[in-house]
Amino acid sequence: MYKFYKNKLNGIEEIDVDEIEKGSWINVVAPSPEELLELQELTGVSRDFLTAALDDEEKSRMEIDDNQLLVLIDIPLLRSTNDYDTIPLGIITTKEYTITVCLEVNAVLADIARPDQKVIKTFKRTRFLFQILFRSATLYLRYIRNINSRTDELEMHLRKSMDNKELLDLLDVQKSFTFFSASLRSNYVVTEKLLRLRTSKQAMQLVKLYEEDEDLLDDVIIEYKQAIEMVEMYTAILNSMMGVFASIINNNMNLVMKFLAGMTIVLAIPTLLSGLWGMNVPVPFTDNPYGFFIVAASATIIASVFAYVLWREKMF
């Protein structure tokens, strides 16, 4: 699936293929082989560039070939209420169009394609590229804060009860931070390379860095730096918290085992006495009408003494 957009008086609007012109934006989502061929014929973009973001294991990178610039980054994706992931997003800049390619509909481009979006200018291709990167960085920061809030909620639940569900949710949070950390670092490297394009004669034909564009790219780099620092900080806190809760679980298990061992010792005494007086041989108090009560009372007293000693030794 692909859609065409361009700037009009009221902001960005979707257009038909016959209205496409220089400065238009083509948004491609999970294209079929036939659609890729149509786009290749329409724009002249290399097929390798068009399919780069269709591999969900593709790493972030920047590539220039035949007056075409490919910027491949990882963007955050919210799959469910608390399930976060990252997917590649390819941004291809030519002398005429900006083409974005992704495997799924995502929040980064959905926000940019809003009809009321008047700040975005698709015909300013360099600035449009940096604005996509900036939206990606800010979305990372938003999701990182949401994940951290979720971590605080799980911590409060775990303070009250050590349920497996909360521990598994913490594992999912840790996995999300791991994905974010790897993606943010590779994205940051790409932005650093983009900053160095101002010294490349080949790139200057595609990416014209004006002062406002450089300021925007600096903001992108700062946002990615902040996101990386936040992920590292929250990951360290989460790892410490996981270690603390693991120690608490082990300690609770030791307390349970200690209690069960003490109860076994206490209950073994009545069991032993009842076993001795239950044998078919002459035993004390056989002819005493109160023999049962004497044995029971003796077992209770001895068990109570052992229970008190174990309580003093903090076995209970």
Which domain CATH number covers 81?
Answer: 3.30.460.20
214 and 290 both lie in a single domain? no
Are 241 and 270 members of one domain?
Answer: no
Q: Cα–Cα distance between 257 and 100 in angstroms, integer?
A: 59
How many Å apart are CA 130 and CA 74, to the nearest integer? 14
Residue with tokens 């960085």, as numbered in its chain: 137
DSSP reduced 3-state for 277: coil
> Are residues 91 and 155 part of one domain?
yes
SS3 content of the chain, % helix, strand, coil (to 5): 60, 15, 25
Range of the domain at 270: 251-312
Please tell me the predicted confidence (pLDDT) of residue 262: 77
Q: Tell me how far apart the alpha carbons of residues 64 and 67 are, in angstroms, rounded to a whole number.
A: 7
Q: Hey, what are 158's tokens?
A: 């775990």
Rounded to 10°, the helix 291-312/211-276 angle is 150
Residues 108 and 230 in one domain: yes
Shared domain for 234 and 258, answered yes or no, is: no
Q: Are residues 194 and 115 in the same domain?
A: yes
Q: Which residue has the tokens 């300021």?
A: 215
DSSP string, 102-141: ESS--HHHHHHT-TT--S--TTSHHHHHHHHHHHHHHHHH
Quote the CA–CA distance of 154 and 162 in Å, as a whole number.
10
The SS3 of residue 99 is: strand
Which helix or strand (DSSP H or E) is residue 100 part of?
Answer: strand 98-102
Burial 60-84 (b: 16+ CB within 10 A, else e): bebebeeebbbbbbbbbbeeeeeeb
Among 176, 153, 179, smallest CA distance to 241 is for 153
Residues 160 and 222 in one domain: yes
> Is 201 found in the same domain as 88?
yes
Measured in degrees and rounded to the nearest 5, phi and psi for residue 3 equal: -130, 155
What are the CA-CA distances from residue 180 to residues 65, 91, 130 (Å)? 29, 20, 20
Domain boundary among 250, 268, 296: 250
Q: Dihedral angle at the C-alpha atoms of 223, 225, 231, 233, nearest 10 degrees?
A: -120
Per-residue pLDDT of the chain (316 residues; tens, 9 = 90+): 888 888 776 777 877 877 788 888 888 898 888 888 888 888 888 888 888 888 888 888 888 887 888 899 999 888 877 778 889 999 988 888 888 999 888 888 888 877 776 677 778 888 888 889 999 999 999 999 988 888 888 777 777 666 667 777 778 888 888 888 888 999 999 888 887 776 555 555 566 667 787 788 888 899 999 999 999 888 888 888 777 777 777 777 787 787 887 777 777 777 777 777 777 667 776 667 777 777 777 778 877 887 777 777 676 6
Give the span between the Cα atoms of 257 and 4, in whole angstroms: 67
Q: Is 91 in contact with 53 (CB distance < 8 Å)?
A: no
Chain position carrying tokens 């003494």: 305
pLDDT, residue 225, reads 92
Q: Tokens representing 139?
A: 């979305």
Q: Report the pLDDT value the prediction gives residue 18, as an integer from 0 to 100.
A: 79
Rounded CA-CA distance 120/5 in Å is: 11
Q: What is the CATH number of the domain that holds 295?
A: 1.20.58
Nearest alpha carbon to residue 235 among 109, 112, 133, 151: 151
43 and 72 together in one domain = yes
Verify that 13 and 154 share a domain, yes or no. yes
151 and 273 assigned to the same domain: no
The total number of structural domains in the chain stands at 2
Pair (13, 131) in one structural domain: yes
Question: How far apart are the C-alpha atoms of 106 and 111, rounded to whole Å?
Answer: 9
What pLDDT is attached to residue 207?
Answer: 66
